[in-house]
Amino acid sequence: MADAADSGSSEYGSANPWLIAVLVSVATFMEVLDTTIANVALRYIAGGLAVSSDEASWVVTTYLVANSIVLAASGWLAQMFGRRNFFLACIALFTVSSFLCGIAWNLQALLIFRVMQGLAGGGMTPVAQSILAAAFPPAKRGQGFALYGIAVVVAPVVGPTLGGWLSDNWSWHWCFLMNVPVGIISLALIFFIIPSSPERRAARRAMWSNGPRFDLIGFLLVATFLGALEVVLDRGQIDDWFNSPFIVAFAALSAIALLLFIPWELTREEPLIDLKMLTGRQFGTCFVIMLVTGALLIATTQVLPQLLQERYNYTATWAGLAISPGGMVTMCMMVVVGRLGFVQPRYLITAGACIAAVAMIDLWRMTPDVDFWFFAWSRVILGVGLPLIFIPITAASYDGIPASRTDQASALINLARNFGGSIGVSLSQTMLAQREQFHQSRLIEHIGTWNPVYNDTLARVQDYLKTRSATGSVSGSSVAVIGQILQGQAVLLAYIDVFVMLAVLAGLMIPLALSLRTVTRGGSAPVH
């Protein structure tokens, strides 16, 4: 069956595609927001529920694991039950589970409700993308995806700011309860405004008449692989990686599931995930670029507020505000990039990757006395670059994909973004810990009475402390002050190393982007 959108008309008939784009984007914004909003509220959750910080961190992990697991089956569920129906069910479950998270009475209850929330959220995002692809003809998909892109790119930026403000001024409960009114309104509007497609209903009846062929074994294998891998990525640094039997067990489980999943799926007539899509030059390259884009977006969104709170003593609210200007620029750029449909995606992505690399390189100038606007400006630069990547890569990934595989394409692209984010955060946190130890050991090598610089610094610190203390020796405290300065320098250098790594990742996107083929306008290109 030909895709209506591919023929220049909408699958949803006379329904306004822009209104559809707004509605699905609002719902998606709500879901993506919850991937980061809880991060800054963890210490409040730990205090409110009387648990340790390590136990509270499972609030983030359980959501990400559940989110990843359902992504694998979202394509099949959307086909069997309809994109609109499945999307409505996901919003309803997300709204209910958000309310339950907000009133959770202990950690165990909160974790159960976060799993429910993650399952609902994992289905919402890819289906939203499929709905947009069906609502817009190819020539205008870029503009439609611009609204969707605002939700996906801006929400992780807004999350720490909003979560910090709500936790500082109200309560961590509101990080979840705020979803309830948004969810109810979105549910009602989508139900009445987005029609059910007659063509899709006919296709579903044909599928049900032949029996719902669900690849249960494939789903169990991919769910095990993705879920275990997400646990490893999210808990690795906390549990000391492979020195932990827990991490070793989950890593082995993930590897075994992957080794069984690949041959199983390749031999199925109707696989849960069509792995052959990843072997195509166009879609496979888009998948890798989205992995890196997710790593850049989520890693910087977590690392920058963490740096500002740890090294520069910002509150959670102010740490979030430092990255907010970048979010405003991103929203504006989404509109601009959406109107650049006449430019080939590979050129836009290349430009975006270059700008993202510049944003990371700019952070190498970081010193102990930089101000708020230094970090805000770097985020502004990144806010210019990311839309130039996100919208074109989303549009390019659908080029040549037939209607029957758009749901799978959406699931895989969103899976790439989610796991790219997890990988980026994991790499960043691991590098921070290791490089801080490295720099500290190297800096200690320069401390000793044989070093005139050290002696001069020690004398200045002692003189300063003498003016602050009328009695007692200050030699011990002066050495402690120098130790604190050294540790602060080591932390700063470790963060710079992280930004070097992220700049390299951004640079790796440039040759990948240039390898993309020319996207056919106004029609569907063959799948390669």
Mean pLDDT on 479-496: 77
Q: Which residue, 164, 169, 193, 157, is CA-closest to 32? A: 157
Q: Domain check: are 171 and 64 in the same one?
A: yes
Query: Greater confidence, 211 or 83?
Result: 83
Q: What percent of the chain has pLDDT over 90?
A: 10
Would residue 101 count as lying in a domain? Answer: yes
- Number of Cβ within 10 Å of residue 254's Cβ equals 20
In degrees to the nearest 10, what's the CA dihedral of 474, 475, 478, 479? -150
Model pLDDT, residue 499: 93
Q: Mean pLDDT lowest for which of 53-57, 59-63, 318-322, 490-494? A: 53-57
pLDDT score at 96: 93
Residue 260 lies in a domain: yes
276 domain-assigned = no
62 closest CA partner among 28, 104, 91, 27: 104
pLDDT of residue 459: 67
> Which of residues 210 and 329 earns the better pLDDT score?
329
Q: Which of 186, 212, 238 lies at the terminal end of a domain, its last residue?
A: 212
Q: What is the pLDDT of residue 100?
A: 93
DSSP secondary structure letters along 36-48:
TTTGGGHHHHHHH
Do 257 and 116 share a domain, yes or no? no
Rounded to whole angstroms, the Cα distance separating 501 from 358 reads: 13
Answer whether residue 301 is part of any domain.
yes
pLDDT range class, residue 239, cuts 50, 70, 90: confident
> DSSP letter at 527?
P
> Is there a single domain that holds both residue 241 and residue 157?
no
My answer on whether 153 and 260 are in the same domain is: no
272 pLDDT band, cuts 50/70/90, is: confident
Pair 62, 185 in one domain:
yes
Give residue-wise pLDDT tens across range 283-317: 888 889 998 988 888 788 778 877 887 788 887 77
The dihedral over CA atoms of 399, 509, 505, 257, expressed in degrees to the nearest 10, equals 40
pLDDT band at 3 (very low <50, low <70, confident <90, very high): very low
Q: What would the two tokens of residue 51 be?
A: 């648990």
Give tens-digit pLDDT for 420-443.
887 887 788 888 888 888 887 877
The answer to whether residues 292 and 344 touch, using CB atoms and an 8 Å cutoff, is no
Percent of the chain with pLDDT over 70: 82
On whether residue 22 sits in a domain, the answer given is yes
Examine the domain organization and report whether 357 and 372 are in the same domain. Answer: yes
- Do 15 and 157 sit in the same domain of this protein? yes
Which of 310-347 are b and which e, b meaning 16 or more Cβ less than 10 Å from the residue's Cβ?
A: eebebebbbbbbbbbbbbebbbebbeebbebbeebbbe
- Per-residue confidence band for 475, with pLDDT thresholds at 50, 70 and 90: low
Task: Tell me if 136 is assigned to some domain.
Answer: yes
Judge if 297 and 182 occupy the same domain.
Answer: no
248 falls within a domain: yes
Q: In this predicted model, what pLDDT tens digit does every residue of 123-163 receive, in sequence order? A: 887 788 778 777 777 667 666 777 777 777 777 767 777 77
Give dist(CA 106, CA 45) in Å, integer. Answer: 10
- The CATH number assigned to the domain holding 381 equals 1.20.1250.20
When mean pLDDT is compared across 335-344, 390-399, 463-472, 483-492, the lowest value belongs to 463-472
pLDDT for position 524? 38
Where in the sequence is the domain holding 259, given as residue range(s)? 215-271
Q: Do 120 and 191 share a domain, yes or no?
A: yes
Last residue of a domain, one of 171, 186, 212: 212
121, 256: one domain: no
In a domain? residue 98? yes
- Residue 205 has a pLDDT of 65
For residues 164 and 295, membership in a common domain is answered with no
Encoding tokens for residue 511?
């040759």
Residue 194 confidence (pLDDT) above 70? yes
Q: Report how many domains make up the chain.
A: 3
Q: pLDDT tens, 329-367?
A: 887 887 788 777 778 888 999 999 999 999 999 999 888
Both 481 and 496 in one domain: the answer is yes
Q: Is the pLDDT of residue 181 over 50?
A: yes
Answer yes or no: is pLDDT of 464 > 70. Answer: no
Q: Which of 131-140, 260-269, 411-420 has the lowest mean pLDDT?
A: 131-140
